[in-house]
């Protein structure tokens, strides 16, 4: 093929890929224990954020999160017990992304942990999201941390499942996440580090069904208070919606679109539409950000989590201009936020037609990262993120901004050139 | 007194006045029928927005709102019946602001209409706010419009009153409106034309108490759906909170601070701290804005409503930069929003320490309009507002931006010079 022919094929493939991204319709349809829905999950599977990694190479907070999850499952009741089980080869590890799922920070999903079930109503694919909480996913495994998983598994998840079942029994499709996300972007959210409006809008949407299906008033009050005081809640739904969106653009021959960006705390990996299911990786970066009192960059673990699926879809830091309020959390000025948001247009395929930036006179967010543009311009995607302590057992110590390693994009482009004989 | 002495007295008075504004703590403590709480309300009183005006001089939408309210009260059952009653002198009209209250648009409050009861916990004054709805207050008086008042009076208000009573019985002070307002300003609200985040945050705050005190699940669901679909709801609470805030700065000798701005659809009136309870007026302006399909400026009533109490307190259009999303409603560009917001610093006394603008790197909103600065700079306060059809019986036809008449500020300054012998 001539280089003109190949260029036309790439343009056409990317047009198709990004059209799928724009036209996706992710709905929350259910909440179910992972073992019941996640493809490839076995009784002793633990899935995690980012590209594949073996236990011995995992970072501290991911090890801590796995220990916390093993304690939650009741397979062991201490750090030592959990480590023993792992070292005996009892646990199978695998990346969330390779099982249709995403999870924030360590992102650890185990069989009995309920996950959000999100269906892309336009393309039919179903994807899964792990709950967001501020302790286990950051590496803590103390009793209080594990208790937050129990609240989710035993109280909130079953209540949400009942509410969604009621919705379906009334002929509903579930909860339209894209609509909530579009509205939340008008309300100061960028839907990664700040999903506060998304959480409120989601709560008010599901509450009538929770009211109809929850007899215990005290429990109902507790759930409302949980939504009211956990502004970060909606992140797991934004992530699952983004995963369901990007998966519709997977495996389109010739497409140079990035379909996933994810980090395991050691490596940063990307997937590219035209390159199948392969991970292209480089070292996870150090986050530039603000730390909680008593902590600094010397305590910080490198970048971690599947939450960069939001930036992959054109929100998160790609919509930072919508969310100047998070600058008090991640640092920087409003000018920086504007600059990052505009810069992302140079490495993407189109402007989103649903996710808009009112402060840019309603321009769409930059959507559809093209590996060619990243390598050519040298501009790396910008990602909002939280910072975990590098040691297991501690937790969140700050938040900030981070970039992927350029080598992930370069090795993807190299593989692309080899595959398509450029 | 020397002019230096007077200047010092003014500065000191304004410092005291604006300090009261900044340190005010408005809490929603109850919801009660107007007749039970509004000072000076009689069995046949109707209070209205803006400065005093007699029936024959009222604009169409205010006449329509009064007719709708008379039908709601059951004093008549038609436009003709309502007009007959009024022309027989049966109804006493008076401005909300002269009875510790505020109301949006026509702002009409009648004896059995429940009002929000807001207490300034720092200074002890109690003020009242009329509910926001999209029909009667814009001049409609058809059955459906009147029904929206009945829903408020018979369903939502009693439910809220029960929830607030429960809160008090548990030792609570009520609902901290200032805290909700500060958070909502981080979430794309300017709290006048756009109080969407405020409505969500308020709903999630009161819901646990509504759940505890409402037996009927269907009713509870209905209330949640009402909050979820009436983004404008919180405006009445923002207005009442602002009224309770500004009233703490009333009647401070020598202060040139504006304590109220309000319009009756014919005249725009202001009150000034050092000039007692007097209204200074000029003609209400025409709104520059966007119209609903089928309507244009030829159908528009001049500026109307007590809602400019928000701008008087340093929010509303004074925080327009926080709320670029409303530009799709009121027109203009993000640059305009930034310009207006910055310009207001030239006519105000201080920057707010609680109401912040993240996009200006967390600078406070311009707070405390000084009549001297308005007259000296020629810069008029900017106000977000809705537009009512000029004829009674129709309703809302658009939204936009408006300014008060300069002559209100000039006549206030003239009176000030006379009173204080400048």
Tell me the per-residue pLDDT of B138-193, one tens digit each, with 9 for 90 and over. Answer: 999 999 999 999 999 999 999 999 999 999 999 999 999 999 999 999 999 999 99
Distance of alpha carbon B13 from alpha carbon A415, whole angstroms: 73
Q: Tell me the nearest-neighbour CA distance from B19 into chain A, angstroms.
A: 25
Give the count of beta carbons closer than 10 Å to the beta carbon of residue B290.
17
**Residue of B204, B233, B338 best to disrupt the A interface, most CBs of A under 10 A:** B204
Distance of alpha carbon A69 from alpha carbon A136, whole angstroms: 7
Tell me the residues of chain A between 343 and 382 that have a Cβ less than 8 Å away from chain B: 358-362
* DSSP secondary structure letter of residue A141: -
Question: Are B201 and A200 inside 8 Å of each other by CB?
Answer: yes
Tell me the residues of chain B between 130 and 169 that have a Cβ less than 8 Å away from chain A: none
Question: Are A334 and B228 inside 8 Å of each other by CB?
Answer: no
List the helix and strand counts (H, then E) for chain B. 15, 16
Distance of alpha carbon A294 from alpha carbon A273, whole angstroms: 43
Which residues in B lie closer than 8 A to residue A167 (C-beta atoms)?
Answer: none
Residue B117, beta-bridge partner list = B30, B128
Contacts of B12 (CB under 8 A, 6+ apart): B254
A208 interfaces chain B, CB cutoff of 8 Å = yes
- pTM, two decimals, is 0.95
For range A340-367, the mean pLDDT: 96
| Nearest residue of chain A to residue B214 (CA atoms) | A217
Which residues in A lie closer than 8 A to residue B208 (C-beta atoms)?
Answer: 221, 224-225, 228
Tell me which residue in B220, B224, B359 faces A204 most closely, judged by beta carbons. Answer: B224
A221 interfaces chain B, CB cutoff of 8 Å = yes
Q: Using an 8 Å Cβ cutoff, are B223 and B213 in contact?
A: no
Q: Using an 8 Å Cβ cutoff, are A181 and A241 in contact?
A: yes
Q: How confident is the model at residue A422 (pLDDT cuts 50, 70, 90)?
A: confident
Distance of alpha carbon A316 from alpha carbon A294, whole angstroms: 27
| Nearest residue of chain A to residue B204 (CA atoms) | A228
For range A261-277, the mean pLDDT: 97
Which residues in B lie closer than 8 A to residue A204 (C-beta atoms)?
Answer: 200, 203-204, 224, 227-228
Structure tokens at B157: 């208000």
Distance of alpha carbon A243 from alpha carbon A100, whole angstroms: 8
Tell me the per-residue pLDDT of A293-341, one tens digit each, with 9 for 90 and over. Answer: 999 999 999 999 999 999 999 999 999 999 988 888 888 888 999 999 9
Q: Using an 8 Å Cβ cutoff, are B214 and B162 in contact?
A: yes
Contacts of B25 (CB under 8 A, 6+ apart): B120, B121, B122, B176, B178
List the helix and strand counts (H, then E) for chain A. 15, 16
| Interchain CB contacts (distance < 8 Å): A and B | 101
Tell me the per-residue pLDDT of A214-253, one tens digit each, with 9 for 90 and over. Answer: 999 999 999 999 999 999 999 999 999 999 999 999 999 9
A204 interfaces chain B, CB cutoff of 8 Å = yes
Question: Are A361 and B217 inside 8 Å of each other by CB?
Answer: no
Q: Residue B296: phi, psi to the nearest 5?
A: -150, -175
Contacts of B240 (CB under 8 A, 6+ apart): B26, B28, B102, B115, B116, B118, B127, B128, B129, B177
Q: How confident is the model at residue B330 (pLDDT cuts 50, 70, 90)?
A: confident
| Nearest residue of chain B to residue A196 (CA atoms) | B187
For range A255-268, the mean pLDDT: 98
Phi-psi region of A375 (alpha: psi -120 to 50; beta: other; left: phi over 0): alpha
Question: Are A204 and B200 inside 8 Å of each other by CB?
Answer: yes
Percent of chain B with pLDDT over 70: 100
Residue A269, classed as helix, strand or coil, is strand
Complex confidence, ipTM: 0.93
Q: Using an 8 Å Cβ cutoff, are A374 and A380 in contact?
A: yes
**Residue of A233, A359, A361 best to disrupt the B interface, most CBs of B under 10 A:** A359
Q: What secondary structure does DSSP assign to A79-109, as a single string? A: HHHHHHHHHTT--EEEEGGGGTEE-STT--B
B327 interfaces chain A, CB cutoff of 8 Å = yes
Structure tokens at B75: 């004093």
Question: Are B224 and A208 inside 8 Å of each other by CB?
Answer: yes
Question: Are A204 and B205 inside 8 Å of each other by CB?
Answer: no
Q: How confident is the model at residue B2 (pLDDT cuts 50, 70, 90)?
A: confident
Q: How confident is the model at residue B34 (pLDDT cuts 50, 70, 90)?
A: very high
B333 interfaces chain A, CB cutoff of 8 Å = yes
| Domains of chain B with CATH codes | 25-238 (3.90.1710.10), 250-419 (3.90.1700.10)
Q: Using an 8 Å Cβ cutoff, are B163 and B213 in contact?
A: yes
| Nearest residue of chain A to residue B334 (CA atoms) | A359
Q: Using an 8 Å Cβ cutoff, are B69 and B30 in contact?
A: no
* pLDDT score of A332: 84
Q: How confident is the model at residue B387 (pLDDT cuts 50, 70, 90)?
A: very high
Closest CA to B199 of B224, B216, B173: B224
Closest CA to B116 of B331, B306, B392: B306
Q: How confident is the model at residue B421 (pLDDT cuts 50, 70, 90)?
A: confident
Distance of alpha carbon A375 from alpha carbon A422, whole angstroms: 15
**Rg of chain B over CA atoms, in angstroms?**
20
Tell me the per-residue pLDDT of A71-89, one tens digit each, with 9 for 90 and over. Answer: 999 999 999 999 999 999 9
Question: Are B325 and A187 inside 8 Å of each other by CB?
Answer: yes
Output the furthest CA–CA distance in chain B (Å, rounded): 69
Tell me which residue in A186, A217, A227 faces B188 most closely, judged by beta carbons. Answer: A186
Distance of alpha carbon A67 from alpha carbon A121, whole angstroms: 36
**What is the β-pairing status of strands B45-48 and B396-402?**
unpaired
> Angle at CA B235, nearest 5°, toward B233 and B240?
120
Tell me which residue in B186, B187, B204 faces A227 most closely, judged by beta carbons. Answer: B204
Q: How confident is the model at residue A377 (pLDDT cuts 50, 70, 90)?
A: very high
Distance of alpha carbon B119 from alpha carbon B240, whole angstroms: 9
Size of chain B in residues: 422
């Amino acid at each position: 093929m001539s280089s003109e022919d190949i260029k036309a094929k790439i343009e056409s493939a990317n047009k198709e890929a990004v059209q799928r991204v724009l036209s996706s319709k992710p709905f929350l349809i259910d909440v179910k224990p992972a073992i019941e829905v996640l493809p490839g999950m076995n009784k002793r599977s633990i899935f995690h954020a980012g590209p594949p990694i073996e236990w011995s190479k995992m970072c501290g907070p991911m090890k801590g999160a796995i220990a916390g999850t093993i304690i939650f499952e009741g397979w062991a009741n201490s750090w030592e017990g959990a480590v023993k089980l792992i070292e005996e080869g009892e646990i199978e590890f695998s990346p969330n992304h390779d099982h249709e799922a995403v999870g924030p920070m360590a992102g650890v999903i185990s069989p009995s942990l309920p996950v959000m079930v999100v269906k892309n109503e336009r393309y039919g694919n179903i994807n899964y999201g792990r709950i967001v909480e501020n302790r286990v996913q950051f590496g803590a495994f103390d009793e209080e941390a594990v208790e937050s998983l129990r609240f989710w598994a035993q109280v909130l998840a079953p209540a949400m499942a009942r509410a969604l079942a009621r919705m379906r029994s009334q002929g509903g499709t579930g909860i339209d996440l894209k609509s909530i996300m579009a509205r939340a972007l008008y309300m100061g959210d960028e839907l990664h580090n700040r999903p506060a409006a998304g959480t409120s809008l989601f709560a008010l949407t599901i509450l009538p069904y929770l009211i109809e299906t929850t007899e215990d008033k005290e429990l109902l009050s507790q759930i409302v208070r949980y939504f009211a005081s956990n502004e970060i809640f909606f992140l797991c739904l934004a992530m699952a919606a983004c995963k369901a969106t990007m998966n519709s653009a997977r495996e389109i021959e010739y497409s140079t679109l990035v379909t996933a960006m994810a980090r395991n705390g050691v490596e940063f990996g990307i997937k590219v539409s035209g390159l199948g299911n392969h991970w292209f990786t480089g070292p996870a970066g150090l986050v530039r950000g603000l730390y909680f009192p008593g902590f600094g960059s010397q305590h910080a673990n490198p970048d971690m989590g599947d939450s960069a699926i939001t930036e992959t879809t054109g929100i998160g830091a790609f919509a930072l201009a919508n969310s100047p309020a998070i600058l008090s959390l991640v640092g920087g000025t409003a000018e920086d936020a504007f600059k990052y948001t505009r810069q992302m247009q140079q490495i993407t395929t189109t402007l989103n037609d649903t996710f808009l930036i009112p402060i840019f006179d309603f321009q769409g967010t930059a959507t559809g990262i093209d590996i060619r543009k990243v390598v050519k311009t040298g501009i790396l995607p910008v990602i909002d993120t939280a910072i975990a302590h590098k040691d297991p057992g501690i937790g969140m110590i700050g938040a900030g901004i981070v970039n992927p390693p350029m080598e992930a994009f370069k090795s993807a482009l190299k593989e692309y050139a080899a595959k398509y004989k450029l």
